[in-house]
């Protein structure tokens, strides 16, 4: 098959979700020649296209007031800019703690994607939307497998692009897996969710309360519907959440196209069943639209030099090469039944290791975002968006340091220099006194 020769870049980022966005902006701001390839026609991934529009969590609410932010950098700059434009609600990060998600920054997906375009273009990132990576070309080198080129789909046909360093932010770890990196994936990954966008057809509180009663009566007769309306379990909760986290889509393996196809058919069937039930209950609700596909909570976890574990997360381990903080809770969704949850309850904060972003056996590749090297429990926490943003920025900074050092070997990169650079760029990096081996 004929492949058209494309271009050569310093850095290619694959996937423009929260992680890829920050990776590309950071590498672009470092003055590198950066390309960002994205399967969808817009940036944001799960946050925009798939409609999961809450960004958690930038703070550790158990730290002293005024010192609660644990993630900043490009992710925080982005939400502040979006808030200035009127399209993000930033809660008070110092508010007394009730539940983790009260600190989520809600964004408008359309404006968020457009703001991401602005950040990316201002950083001189070359944008290749609707140009998904479909294959990789590799070679064996003494330092491990080198990823030499990616093949992307375009309307002109397949195009080959080369780079010195690649950052895999595809959520599914496509580039790493196709280059031969080891990975893990659960036999039965956590359920996904296909978002619906509802709107109320009345503002009459009595009518809404009546709708809740009618819905609960319907649920008593049709227990299968209890898989819906996760947020609040009733019509008013569903409307208040704007349809976020509406349902559980079981059997979704995002790394297996056939499985995904089947699960999406079931997800659509279930959504129409919900709409019919809402109609039968005469609920004052219109469904305006749906995300085009289900969001995946769990996919491939690429194995890196370090595999971060759930035990380490709960022990708030500061890795020797910690590159950013991460904050959420262990949050494993189950197909049938409540999620497995373990909250963090003190001022200590877990971290992400740079070694977890270096896929074993690959020489010139970083991986960032929800497919980073981690066990299942750790991954259920570090997958949240602010953490993905911090990882992405760190990967972009590490790629910039590699190019500065004139190397394509990620293991030769000076971690201390990456840390210094990230701090200059406004990121929060765990301090030396928090690291093992530091004096007390
Ligand atoms: C239903 C649901 C609810 C959630 N709720 C919350 C919440 O309330 N708060 C929170 O903070 N987090 C939440 N999360 C988790 C969080 O949203 C995601 O883990 C996070 O957004 C992942 O970011 P990412 O950049 O790693 O991946 P993604 O957002 O998945 O981005 C990956 C991007 O790569 C692209 N891509 C994939 N393959 C290729 C390819 N081969 N070539 C080119 N591009 C490719 C995709 O199109 C996508 O744009 C939720 C997740 C889900 C699914």
Give the pLDDT confidence of 266-292 residue by residue, as tens digits.
999 989 988 998 998 899 999 999 999
Point out the domain boundary residue: 290, 313, 333. 290
Q: 3-state SS of 244-279?
A: CCCECECCCCCCCHHHHHHHHHHHHHHHHHHHHHHH
Query: What whole-number distance in Å separates Cα of residue 394 and Cα of residue 351?
Result: 12
CA of residue 114 to ligand 1 center, whole Å: 17
The predicted pLDDT at position 232 comes to 65
| Ligand 1 centroid, distance to 388 Cα (angstroms) | 9
| Atom of ligand 1 lying closest to residue 370 CA | 26
**Which of 38, 45, 396 gets mutated to test ligand 1 (max ligand atoms within 8 A of its CB)?**
45
- Say if residue 57 is preceded by a cis peptide, omega within 30 of 0: yes
Report d(CA 41, CA 110) in Å as an integer.
Answer: 12
Q: If pLDDT is split at 50, 70 and 90, which confidence band does 431 have?
A: confident
Residue 191 lies in a domain: no
Instruction: Please identify, by atom number, the ligand 1 atom nearest to the C-alpha of residue 18.
Output: 25
Of all protein residues, the one whose alpha carbon is nearest to atom 20 of ligand 1 is: 385
Lowest-pLDDT choice from 272-281, 378-387, 389-398: 272-281
Work out the pLDDT band at 30, boundaries 50, 70, 90: very high
Please, which pLDDT band fits residue 155 given cuts at 50, 70 and 90?
A: very high
Confidence of residue 223 (pLDDT cuts 50, 70, 90): confident
Q: Is the model more confident about 229 or about 86?
A: 86
Considering the domain architecture, whether residues 221 and 321 belong to the same structural domain is answered as no
Quick: pLDDT tens for 160-183. 999 999 999 999 999 999 999 999
Ligand 1 centroid to 253 CA: how many Å?
A: 14
Q: How far apart are CA 384 and CA 380, in angstroms?
A: 8
334/305 same-domain check:
yes
* Amino acid 140: pLDDT: 97
CA–CA separation, 276 and 83 (whole Å)? 37
Containing domain of residue 163, as a range? 4-186+299-434
The residue whose C-alpha atom lies closest to atom 41 belonging to ligand 1 is 133
Please identify, among 290, 307, 328, the residue that sits at the C-terminal boundary of a domain.
Answer: 290
Q: Report which protein residue has its CA nearest ligand 1's atom 49.
A: 45
Residue 417 covered by a domain: yes
**435 falls in which pLDDT band (50, 70, 90)?**
low
DSSP for 405-422 reads HT---GGGS-HHHHHHHH
What's the 210 CA to ligand 1 centre distance in angstroms?
A: 37
Cα gap 164→399, rounded to integer Å = 9
Among the atoms of ligand 1, which is closest to the Cα of residue 56? 11
20 Cα nearest atom in ligand 1 = 25
Average pLDDT of span 46-63: 97
Instruction: Out of 258, 290, 322, pick the residue that ends a domain.
Output: 290
| DSSP 8-state class, residue 364 | S
Residue 37 CA, closest ligand 1 atom number? 43
Judge whether 167 and 366 are in contact, CB under 8 Å.
Answer: yes
* Exposure b/e, 359-391, CB count within 10 A at least 16 = b: bbbbbbbbbbbbbbbbbbbbbbbbbbbbbbbbb
Nearest CA to ligand 1 atom 27: 171
pLDDT of residue 218: 85
Bridge partners for 160 per DSSP: 5, 151
| Closest ligand 1 atom number to CA of residue 328 | 11
169 CA distance to ligand 1 centroid (A)?
9
For residues 205 and 157, membership in a common domain is answered with no
Q: Does pLDDT of 32 surpass 80?
A: yes
Does 200 lie in the same domain as 179?
Answer: no
Residues 355 and 422 in one domain: yes
Q: Calculate what percentage of the chain has a pLDDT beyond 70.
A: 97
Residue 439 included in any domain? no
Cα–Cα distance, 101 to 54 (Å, whole number): 8
Ligand 1 centre and the CA of 207: distance in Å? 37
Query: What is the per-residue pLDDT for 224?
Result: 78
Mean pLDDT (the chain) is: 94
Asked whether the beta carbons of 28 and 399 are under 8 A apart, the reply is no
Pick the residue with more confidence: 439 or 243?
A: 243
Question: Which atom of ligand 1 lies closest to the CA of 170?
Answer: 34
Question: Residue 416 maps to which CATH number?
Answer: 3.50.50.60
The answer for 12, left when phi > 0, alpha when psi is -120 to 50, beta otherwise, is beta
Query: Can you give the pLDDT at residue 41?
Result: 97
Cα(15) to ligand 1 centroid in Å equals 9
Instruction: Tell whether the model's pLDDT for residue 314 goes beyond 90.
Output: yes
User: pLDDT tens, 187-218?
Assistant: 999 999 999 999 999 999 999 999 999 888 88
Mutational test site, ligand 1, from 264, 385, 386, 390, max ligand atoms within 8 Å of CB? 385
Q: How far is the CA of 97 from the centre of ligand 1 (A)?
A: 26
Same domain, 209 and 318: no
pLDDT level of residue 436 (50, 70, 90 thresholds): low
**Whether residue 309 sits in one domain with residue 170:** yes
Q: 231 falls in which pLDDT band (50, 70, 90)?
A: low
Say whether pLDDT at 325 is over 90.
Answer: yes
Mean pLDDT, residues 308-326 taken together: 97
Number of structural domains (the chain) is: 2
At 305, is the pLDDT very low, low, confident or very high (cuts 50, 70, 90)?
Answer: very high
Distance 219 CA to ligand 1 centre (A): 31
Do 14 and 163 fall into the same domain? yes
Q: 143: CA distance to ligand 1 center in Å?
A: 31
- Residue 45 CA to ligand 1 centre (angstroms): 5
Residue 230 has pLDDT above 80, yes or no: no
Distance 229 CA to ligand 1 centre (A): 21
Considering the domain architecture, whether residues 75 and 124 belong to the same structural domain is answered as yes
CA 120, chain centre distance (Å): 17
**One domain for residues 346 and 204:** no
Closest C-alpha residue for ligand 1 atom 14: 384
Residue 440: which pLDDT band, with cuts at 50, 70 and 90?
Answer: very low
Residue 421 lies in a domain: yes
- Residue 255 belongs to a domain: yes
* pLDDT of 439 higher than 60: no
Detail the DSSP E strand segments found in 58-172.
Answer: 88-89, 105-107, 126-129, 133-141, 144-154, 157-168
The pLDDT assigned to 307 comes to 98
pLDDT of residue 177: 98
Q: Are residues 321 and 174 in the same domain?
A: yes
- Which residues form the pocket of ligand 1, taking CB atoms under 6 Å from any ligand atom? 14-20, 37-40, 45-47, 52, 54-56, 104, 132-133, 169-172, 174, 192-193, 245, 295-297, 369-370, 383-385, 388
56 and 177 together in one domain: yes
Encoding tokens for residue 296?
A: 């995946």
- What are the pLDDT digits (tens) for 329-364? 999 999 877 889 999 999 999 999 999 999 999 999
Residue 383 CA to ligand 1 centre (angstroms): 8
Q: Does residue 111 belong to any structural domain of this protein? A: yes
pLDDT at position 234, please? 85
Domain assignment present for 22: yes
For residue 440, is it within any domain?
Answer: no
């Amino acid at each position: 098959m004929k492949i058209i020769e494309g271009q050569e870049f310093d850095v290619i980022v694959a996937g423009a979700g929260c992680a890829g966005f920050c990776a590309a902006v950071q590498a672009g701001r470092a003055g590198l020649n950066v390309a960002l390839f994205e399967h969808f026609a817009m940036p944001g991934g799960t946050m925009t296209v798939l409609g999961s529009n809450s960004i958690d969590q930038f703070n550790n609410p158990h730290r002293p007031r005024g010192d609660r932010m644990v993630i900043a950098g490009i992710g925080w700059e982005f939400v502040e800019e979006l808030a200035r434009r009127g399209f993000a609600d930033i809660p008070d990060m110092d508010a007394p703690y009730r539940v983790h998600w009260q600190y989520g920054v809600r964004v408008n997906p359309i404006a968020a994607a457009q703001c991401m375009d602005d950040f990316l273009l201002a950083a001189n990132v070359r944008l290749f939307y609707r140009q998904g990576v479909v294959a990789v070309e590799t070679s064996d080198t003494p330092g491990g497998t080198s990823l030499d080129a990616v093949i992307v789909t375009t309307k002109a046909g397949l195009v080959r692009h080369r780079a010195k360093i690649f950052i895999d932010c595809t959520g599914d770890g496509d580039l790493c897996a196709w280059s031969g990196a080891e990975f893990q994936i659960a036999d039965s990954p956590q359920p996904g969710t296909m978002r619906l966008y509802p709107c109320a057809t009345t503002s009459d509180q009595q009518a809404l309360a009546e709708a809740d009663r009618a819905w609960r009566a319907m649920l008593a007769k049709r227990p299968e519907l209890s898989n819906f309306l996760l947020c609040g379990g009733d019509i008013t909760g569903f409307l208040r959440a704007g349809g976020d986290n509406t349902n559980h889509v079981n059997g979704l393996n995002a790394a297996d196209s056939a499985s995904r196809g089947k699960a999406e058919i079931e997800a659509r069937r279930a959504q129409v069943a919900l709409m019919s039930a809402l109609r039968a209950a005469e609920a004052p609700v219109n469904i305006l639209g749906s995300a085009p596909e289900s969001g995946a909570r769990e996919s491939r976890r690429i194995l890196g030099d370090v595999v971060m574990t759930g035990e380490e997360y709960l022990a708030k381990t500061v890795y020797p090469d910690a590159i950013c903080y991460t904050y959420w809770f262990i949050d494993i969704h189950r197909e049938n039944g409540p999620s497995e949850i373990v909250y963090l309850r003190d001022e200590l904060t877990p971290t992400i290791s740079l070694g977890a972003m270096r896929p074993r056996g690959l020489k010139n590749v970083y991986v960032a975002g929800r497919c980073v090297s981690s066990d299942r429990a750790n991954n259920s926490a570090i997958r949240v968006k602010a953490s993905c943003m911090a990882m992405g920025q760190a990967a972009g900074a590490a790629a910039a340091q590699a190019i500065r050092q004139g190397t394509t070997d990620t293991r030769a990169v000076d971690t201390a220099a990456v840390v210094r650079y990230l701090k200059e760029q406004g990121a929060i990096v765990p301090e030396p006194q928090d690291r093992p081996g530091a004096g007390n």
